[in-house]
Amino acid sequence: MKLIRTRSEPAATELTMGPRHTWKLLVVDDEPDIRELTRFNLRGFRFADRDLEILEASSAYEAREILNQHPDIAVALVDVVMETDDAGLRLVEYIRKDLKNLMVRLIIRTGQPGLAPERHVIDHYDIDDYKDKTELTAGRLYTTVRAALKSYRDLRTIDLNRIGLAQVLEAAPDIYRITNRSLDQFFQGVLTQIVGLCNLTDSSFISTMGGVIATFDAQDITVQASSGDLAAQDRFAQIRAQCSETILTGQAPEGLRKGAYVVPLLVQRKPVGFIYIEPTHDLNEADRHLITVVAQQCSSALENLRLHIDLAQSYDHMIDMLATIAEFKDHTTGSHIRRIDSYTRLVALELGSSEDEAVLFGKASRLHDVGKIGISDAVLCKPGKLDAAEFAIIKTHTHMGGTILAHDHFLALAREVALHHHERWDGKGYPDGRPSREFQLVTRIVTVVDVFDALVSRRPYKEPWAPHDAAQEIKNGAGTQFDPTIVTAFMKLFQDGRFDAIIESAQHESALPEISG
């Protein structure tokens, strides 16, 4: 893995845009001559390849407005005596305590030291330097501002590193149970560290191609992390195309900013993405090594995500396979299984479950009747009412389902649903006769929606009920057969029409001619 640097000649856009980043200096003084002299003495000032942008305020009140508009001010030269004898000192307190801005370097500059004695000001106010205006010659002003900017830059580097490390550490526990959310946080933390450690610009980003798998499609790029608003700029399309071509060919890109770097992300030696960075200065060997190590960590995270996706897909395929077996066994319950999935997700969301948890509940619900594959067709498809012996056979489908799903810990939730979805709130259900409050939320949800869908659907032994009659039956069972909280959520969704499409599916299926034999 290597860094690929852009060619040394500047791109056309570089020549026309002018300086992209500046150090902001705020001069707060009620004397126009002092402000003008400060601007004159700092003309042509540059530090770390950045120009100086000077902002002026004639009062502490005006300075507050500017500080609110420019939170990235690096240094402020503050006069003490302005609209009041301590206006400058009150401004310092406002910056540190109200704005909670601990980064900006504050330099007190006074022409009346008797009103603000140096030792008192240094001891009682969070400032970085104290200067008498008479001692700030052009040379001393240059030195003072340069030292303050260096201090600001170093503090920002430390702070960015702290923020980035905190994001990485927060995301790290999730890497082994990785989700897109934790991966986004991981990438953002990594990028923040790169920006801080290498003093990069705010136009760096990490991208991945083709949904993070080992295929490369330049038309499908997902930005996993960004700093600044580069991804929203017009030139992002050019950068995307250039970086894609670069990591495929290994050739230095043309048309990007002078000195930019492209670092390929590799999974099993195949390019799956890149880190693009725009340093404010040429990177030394230590910086380049750091970014290479970071790129390797990003690649490992991508590989973990790919393995996670493969595992999740295998789980989904297993669920679908078992559900399909149940459909082949009993064609009257095939669509029922899919409807139960939909009902379960909607009720779970209404009860406050997250989207991911609702999806998991839906998948588990699909296997609630998988045990029916062990029930004979003569009993399962009997057109009339079951006698006591036949009903006893039907009830064994819960144990059969639990046994089938007991061989894989990934199916533990589905196993509970299959085994206990016929338990009741009052403890009079089967197979164990335990109160359903003892079981997980998804099991209690399936208990409700399974009955409702069975009522509104045609069965060999009955005609479909009208939806409102079926809903009333569910409501009547609250507190005895069903968890009353779930019934309340179910009824709200029913009355709001959230189930209409699912119910229509059941009614359409019931209207079709029966398939014999």
The model's pLDDT over 203-244, given as tens digits with 9 standing for 90+, comes to 666 665 433 322 344 445 566 666 655 555 566 667 777 777
Instruction: Report the alpha-carbon distance of residue 464 to residue 514 in Å, rounded.
Output: 13
Instruction: Report the alpha-carbon distance of residue 324 to residue 470 in Å, rounded.
Output: 27
Whether the per-residue pLDDT at 357 is higher than 80: the answer is: yes
Domain with CATH 3.30.450.40 in the chain: 156-308
Mean pLDDT, rounded, for 407-427: 90
Q: What is the pLDDT of residue 218?
A: 44
Phi-psi region of 436 (alpha: psi -120 to 50; beta: other; left: phi over 0): alpha
Q: Which two tokens stand for residue 421?
A: 């979805």
What's the CA dihedral at 475, 477, 483, 486 to 10 degrees? -20
Burial class (CB in 10 A: 0-12, 13-18, 19+), 252: middle
Give the lowest-confidence range in 158-167, 340-349, 439-448: 158-167
Query: Which among 341, 347, 362 is positioned nearest to 493, based on CA atoms?
Result: 347
End-to-end alpha-carbon separation of the chain, Å? 64
Give the lowest-confidence range in 155-164, 420-429, 463-472: 155-164
Domain with CATH 1.10.3210.10 in the chain: 330-511
DSSP letters for 2-45 = --EEPPSSPPHHHHHH--S-EEEEEEE-S-HHHHHHHHHHTTT-
Domain with CATH 3.40.50.2300 in the chain: 22-136
Instruction: Give the model's confidence band at 75: pLDDT under 50 very low, under 70 low, under 90 confident, else very high.
Output: very high
Give the lowest-confidence range in 21-35, 45-59, 204-218, 362-376: 204-218
Query: Which among 280, 21, 25, 13 is positioned nearest to 148, based on CA atoms?
Result: 25
Instruction: Give the model's confidence band at 45: pLDDT under 50 very low, under 70 low, under 90 confident, else very high.
Output: very high
Query: Which among 384, 272, 369, 386 is positioned nearest to 326, based on CA atoms?
Result: 369
Whether residue 431 is preceded by a cis peptide bond, meaning omega within 30 degrees of 0, is: yes
Structural fold of domain 330-511: Hypothetical protein af1432 (1.10.3210)
What are the residues facing 270 on neighbouring strands?
267
CB atoms closer than 10 angstroms to residue 453: 23
Instruction: Report the alpha-carbon distance of residue 270 to residue 216 in Å, rounded.
Output: 9
Q: pTM of the predicted model, to two decimals? A: 0.49
Whether the per-residue pLDDT at 303 is higher than 60: the answer is: yes
Whether the per-residue pLDDT at 515 is higher than 60: the answer is: no
Q: Mean pLDDT, the chain, as a whole number?
A: 80
**Where in the sequence numbering do the catalytic residues fall?**
372
Phi-psi region of 265 (alpha: psi -120 to 50; beta: other; left: phi over 0): beta
| Highest mean pLDDT: which range of 10-24, 36-50, 420-434 | 420-434
Instruction: Report the alpha-carbon distance of residue 164 to residue 184 in Å, rounded.
Output: 12
- The residue among 78 and 311 whose pLDDT is bigger is 78
Q: What is the pLDDT of residue 288?
A: 75
Q: Which two tokens stand for residue 89?
A: 């000192």
Q: What is the pLDDT of residue 348?
A: 97
CATH class of 156-308: alpha beta
Mean pLDDT, rounded, for 253-264: 74
Q: What is the pLDDT of residue 229?
A: 53
Whether the per-residue pLDDT at 99 is higher than 70: the answer is: yes
Alpha helices in 351-466 (DSSP H): 355-365, 377-380, 388-395, 397-404, 412-420, 441-456
Q: What is the DSSP letter of 279?
A: B
For 179-208, what is each residue's pLDDT tens digit?
555 566 667 766 776 776 666 665 666 665
- The set of residues, in sequence order, having a beta carbon less than 8 Å from that of 499 and lying 6+ positions away, is 343, 346, 467, 493
Does domain 22-136 fall under CATH 3.40.50.2300? My reply is yes
Q: What is the pLDDT of residue 106?
A: 96
